[in-house]
Chains A and B, each alone.
Chain A
């Protein structure tokens, strides 16, 4: 009996103390918290330093996505580059975990600090490539996948990628 009374009073006292501590709650959206540049918000698709689409439609983001909210279809451009014919993300399913960014081998997908996607209609949470594509390089300024990859594209022949020797002349007898 005495014990439970003491417990009740301790509780009341503890809660009363909180009335004088500083509040942790922020008056969002009037007051916005600081979000670091590497905060994991919604994704964007970036371009390489030459201004070309970075995404090669390799499907690694889609398979890494734990909620399966990315779908895309690869195509091949006239210049030989792989690109997404469509790239769709259903943000109403997205949990902003950043697995797609980690999986992306070309740094095309990058997470931004923007997470404020409020819509009255859930259908508006479905973003296509044109909604995601930005003009810049995002956080990685110099990386250009095709300068590393062995695939030849217009303007970059075999042997012109990083660390590549000139193509072998099969008909040569030289060692």
Chain B
């Protein structure tokens, strides 16, 4: 088949890509064709009948026939009518039928103003309802703290279940009943289980599923000020669009990036950032008084104190993997590379550096999220991806469908023929193998699942490598040998096998063994891909900024205790989350001036002598380096309130006050980025992550506010009727106004999507070069890791050995939770509600030997003489967890002192108070989202 074909629409000839469907082609051509059920990421099912056109057999054909755009492949010479009366009338009638039961809700609907149904109704020209009967009504369900349900508004396009079940693998949302009784909901009220449920807000073309945190203090899309941002929830680096009004973050939407998150983000990324609005956030600098209380001081006093402290004796700095590259770079320059720790503990430092060096040195492809979806066999080593890098898990769910597409291609089905391909493939999937400590959320699509202790996972990977290289297998469990054979053979047969591993099980051997496996695999006849998951948004950036022998928090602690540090500057880092609290306490006691720059109140800020309030990623600019080595820039959505300053500004002001020569030519944020790129060779290209502040789009800046932004002369009139000038953004090409041009700019500078007639997020296709293709202005971000085709320096040492559980000793393994393990998102109220309590997870056999049941409590550690200080956690019994392992909810406040990889003893806590069973909340009153009934 020719790559490009000619079709005729309304008498005009177009050269288009063959194999696509007509609807997608029309949208790519910029023609307005209404649709509902089709979604660029989910393909066509032809359910709503909205995208009708008339197709003519040939030029003599006067009548033609109605065809559905989404179900019609474009063929050479085909003749269509889009604007013709017949097609337009048909589409108008369809909208009228979909609107039969639609309630009179628009003024009180959180979709109003960005509603695809509104747009399509206006587009088809439908106005008056001819139907005189009664409207169907439905009861709503409570679906948890994230999603608000209003079933009356449904037009039964099936997009929600297609996303939730088919795309994201959820099971607890379904279409129920028949004919005009169809109902989309759960079998009973309750929290939606899937980690991607928040996307229903964007997928639903109308207001059935809306953002519950927004519904309670609602702002219309046209009133939101937004800017391109990057999620800091994990290391994937999804692009987001946070929206602000009246100084508050209102919501986060997905920002399309074809290579990273595409159309979807996870619930941690969507609902986590509301920590930005917490009243507990720091507004003013605070100076600790002798009585331990803090006095608020103003910016200039704080800067003076900071500058003076930097001149006293020996100064050290601790950066942070959740702060931007620029802030970290400035701190490193301020204190000197030898005194700068990237903010990792010893263990984390080793793991992240190992992960980076394997990626840099192996000459395999480090895939983007989009490339992950092209793999034809996947092996996951030690990661519960849905909880450590959620968006990758969603991509892997699409990866396993490659088998289905392959089967479809064999019988001539195009990839967008979704229902047909699903029917054809049924349960046939591309192979996905998981070797993990316990059950993971991807188990339902895996071909084989192995539960092992982390060291055993490393051994298993080593065995795979040896099998592939025809070497002698290491000493592994005998019943694993058949698995080694199956998995190794499958990986060898695959054309694009993908290995996913990472730091989350805190085991260096797993990472080394992965490196060895990928090397061996690469020598064979295939193009393997390696994806390494690191813990935080800028973990990889920190490893690139510092050298391998840079000090860690532990080394600095040792120096402090030896009295060699007088002033310590901590940048956006809660040290108590990195190392054992006793060692941090000890360290901070030995330092005269502990200065902490942070935006939330943490244990570290409470132990400091001076706290400087900083701006979050949503209020400041910065570059973050994602797990695939992609440098991405985030821009402030709104100006930081009170006396908050971006961390880089605090540090830059301090260095200027000190008269440091390095900062002589630094005036803008871009200068910091440039200095960083000039100094650190691996970060050379970060300047290309986004255009500089001098960029102008056809001579003007890019507006953060849509052109319908309302209330400009009233929103602050209660303070003063004299309106101040709009704030000026010196640091970026974006403006805090509605003036400017939001069109055809580089992808990194897209603050919102809107196009005439397309008010909803479906207007995105007007910004794409073609549907699902890159943005017209290019994809945001720049890849920093270039595979340099060098062999590994030396084969990494795999030190693991078979684990033999000692009696009464359990190996602590981290169990990551999408809700709760991440420091910042866990502060957001909705996420905190889902996170639940800290727990420890053990095998039923182990539980029996300890004589505990689900919900009982156990002491952790030996010393349980003093009950009040002894850590005691609730027991969860999990039959899937490897024997001898005790999984603990990672990153929860109660479990911060548990060190992964250590052996601990567990004993039953006889005085444990069992928790009451949680009762399901409901949307009884307005405070929960205003669905009364």
B224 to nearest A CB, angstroms? 11
Contact A79 B718 (CB under 8 A): no
Residue in B106, B215, B933 whose CB lies within 8 Å of A76: B215
Determine whether A132 belongs to the interface, using a CB cutoff of 8 Å to chain B.
no
Task: Output the nearest chain B residue to A61 by Cβ-Cβ distance.
Answer: B710
Contact B107 A56 (CB under 8 A): yes
| A67–B711 alpha-carbon span in the complex (Å) | 8
Using a CB-CB cutoff of 8 Å, which residues 149-173 of chain A contact chain B? 149-154, 157-159, 161, 163-168, 170-172
Determine whether B917 belongs to the interface, using a CB cutoff of 8 Å to chain A.
no
Using a CB-CB cutoff of 8 Å, which residues 199-224 of chain B contact chain A? 215-220, 222-223
Residue in B139, B153, B215, B714 whose CB lies within 8 Å of A69: B714
Given A63-B220, A68-B710, A69-B714, A150-B135 contact (CB < 8 Å): yes
A42 to nearest B CB, angstroms? 14
Task: Output the nearest chain A residue to B715 by Cβ-Cβ distance.
Answer: A71
Contacts of A164 in B (CB 8 A): 103, 134-135, 137
| A57–B216 alpha-carbon span in the complex (Å) | 12
Given A59-B223, A62-B710, A63-B710, A149-B181 contact (CB < 8 Å): no
Given A93-B713, A151-B108, A158-B152, A76-B137 contact (CB < 8 Å): no
Contact B138 A167 (CB under 8 A): yes
Contact B708 A76 (CB under 8 A): no
Contacts of B219 in A (CB 8 A): 59, 73-74
Contact A90 B713 (CB under 8 A): yes
Contacts of B104 in A (CB 8 A): 148-150, 161
Task: Output the nearest chain A residue to B246 by Cβ-Cβ distance.
Answer: A73
| A56–B223 alpha-carbon span in the complex (Å) | 16
Contacts of A57 in B (CB 8 A): 218
Contacts of A90 in B (CB 8 A): 713-714, 717, 721
Contact B138 A75 (CB under 8 A): no
Which one of B104, B106, B138, B929 has the greatest number of beta carbons of chain A within 10 Å? B104
Given A56-B108, A59-B223, A158-B137, A71-B711 contact (CB < 8 Å): yes
Residue in B107, B217, B711 whose CB lies within 8 Å of A70: B711
User: Which segment, of A5-13, A18-26, A118-126, A134-142, faces chain B?
Assistant: A118-126
Determine whether A47 belongs to the interface, using a CB cutoff of 8 Å to chain B.
no
Contact A126 B103 (CB under 8 A): no
Residue in A88, A145, A148 whose CB lies within 8 Å of B718: A88
A53 to nearest B CB, angstroms? 13
Contact B107 A76 (CB under 8 A): no
Contact B930 A70 (CB under 8 A): no
Given A76-B216, A90-B717, A159-B103 contact (CB < 8 Å): no
Determine whether B912 belongs to the interface, using a CB cutoff of 8 Å to chain A.
no
Contact A151 B710 (CB under 8 A): no
A141 to nearest B CB, angstroms? 20
Determine whether B720 belongs to the interface, using a CB cutoff of 8 Å to chain A.
yes
> Interface 1/0s, chain B 677-715, versus A by CB < 8 A?
000000000000000000000000000000011111111
A12 to nearest B CB, angstroms? 48
Q: What total count of A-B pairs have CB within 8 Å?
A: 173
Determine whether A60 belongs to the interface, using a CB cutoff of 8 Å to chain B.
yes
Task: Output the nearest chain A residue to B176 by Cβ-Cβ distance.
Answer: A170
Determine whether A49 belongs to the interface, using a CB cutoff of 8 Å to chain B.
no
Determine whether B190 belongs to the interface, using a CB cutoff of 8 Å to chain A.
no
Contact B711 A168 (CB under 8 A): no
Determine whether B756 belongs to the interface, using a CB cutoff of 8 Å to chain A.
no
Task: Output the nearest chain B residue to A75 by Cβ-Cβ distance.
Answer: B217
> Interface 1/0s, chain B 241-270, versus A by CB < 8 A?
000011000000000000000000000000
Residue in A69, A92, A105, A165 whose CB lies within 8 Å of B135: A165
Contact B712 A68 (CB under 8 A): yes
B737 to nearest A CB, angstroms? 12
> Interface 1/0s, chain A 101-136, versus B by CB < 8 A?
000011000000000000000110110100000000
Given A80-B925, A105-B107, A164-B137, A71-B714 contact (CB < 8 Å): yes
Contacts of A68 in B (CB 8 A): 709-714
Contacts of B717 in A (CB 8 A): 69, 71, 88, 90, 126
Contact B714 A105 (CB under 8 A): no
Determine whether B931 belongs to the interface, using a CB cutoff of 8 Å to chain A.
yes
Residue in A81, A150, A157 whose CB lies within 8 Å of B152: A150
Contacts of A81 in B (CB 8 A): 926, 930
Contacts of A33 in B (CB 8 A): none
| A86–B717 alpha-carbon span in the complex (Å) | 12
Contact B179 A175 (CB under 8 A): yes
Contacts of B444 in A (CB 8 A): none
Contacts of A172 in B (CB 8 A): 181
Determine whether B661 belongs to the interface, using a CB cutoff of 8 Å to chain A.
no
Using a CB-CB cutoff of 8 Å, which residues 106-148 of chain B contact chain A? 106-108, 112-113, 134-140
Contact A168 B177 (CB under 8 A): yes
B210 to nearest A CB, angstroms? 12
Contact B720 A123 (CB under 8 A): yes
| A145–B137 alpha-carbon span in the complex (Å) | 17
| A164–B217 alpha-carbon span in the complex (Å) | 28
B572 to nearest A CB, angstroms? 31
Contacts of B933 in A (CB 8 A): 80, 152, 157-158
| A32–B363 alpha-carbon span in the complex (Å) | 88
A157 to nearest B CB, angstroms? 5
Contact A59 B246 (CB under 8 A): no
Contact B718 A128 (CB under 8 A): yes
Contacts of B708 in A (CB 8 A): 63
| A138–B104 alpha-carbon span in the complex (Å) | 22
Task: Output the nearest chain B residue to A71 by Cβ-Cβ distance.
Answer: B711
A22 to nearest B CB, angstroms? 41
Contacts of B477 in A (CB 8 A): none
Residue in A59, A78, A145 whose CB lies within 8 Å of B927: A78
Contacts of A86 in B (CB 8 A): 718
> Interface 1/0s, chain B 912-933, versus A by CB < 8 A?
0000000000000111011111
Contact A125 B721 (CB under 8 A): yes
Contacts of A168 in B (CB 8 A): 136-138, 177, 181, 183
Given A90-B714, A150-B153, A58-B927 contact (CB < 8 Å): no
Given A158-B139, A163-B135, A149-B105 contact (CB < 8 Å): yes
A166 to nearest B CB, angstroms? 7
Contact B713 A170 (CB under 8 A): no
Contacts of B136 in A (CB 8 A): 165, 168
Task: Output the nearest chain B residue to A92 by Cβ-Cβ distance.
Answer: B721
A26 to nearest B CB, angstroms? 30
B825 to nearest A CB, angstroms? 24
Contacts of A67 in B (CB 8 A): 713
A13 to nearest B CB, angstroms? 49
B132 to nearest A CB, angstroms? 9
Residue in B134, B150, B153 whose CB lies within 8 Å of A165: B134
| A80–B931 alpha-carbon span in the complex (Å) | 6
Residue in A60, A153, A161 whose CB lies within 8 Å of B107: A60
Contact B217 A170 (CB under 8 A): no
| A7–B105 alpha-carbon span in the complex (Å) | 67
Contact A123 B223 (CB under 8 A): no
Contact A78 B926 (CB under 8 A): yes
Task: Output the nearest chain A residue to B708 by Cβ-Cβ distance.
Answer: A63
Contacts of A63 in B (CB 8 A): 113, 220, 222-223, 708, 710
New A-B contacts (8) at CB < 8 Å, excluding given A60-B107, A69-B713, A171-B177: A58-B106, A63-B708, A63-B710, A88-B714, A128-B718, A158-B138, A163-B134, A168-B137
Taking Cβ atoms with an 8 Å cutoff, the residues of A that contact B are 56-60, 62-63, 65, 67-82, 85-86, 88-90, 92-93, 105-106, 122-123, 125-126, 128, 145, 148-154, 157-159, 161, 163-168, 170-172, 175
Q: Which 6 A-B pairs have the closest CB atoms?
A: A150-B103, A80-B932, A71-B711, A58-B107, A76-B930, A152-B933
Offer 28 A-B interface pairs, CB within 8 angstroms, sorted by A. A58-B107, A68-B712, A68-B713, A69-B717, A70-B710, A70-B711, A73-B246, A74-B218, A75-B216, A78-B925, A82-B108, A82-B930, A86-B718, A90-B714, A125-B721, A126-B718, A145-B107, A149-B107, A150-B153, A151-B108, A151-B931, A153-B932, A161-B103, A161-B104, A166-B137, A168-B177, A168-B181, A170-B185
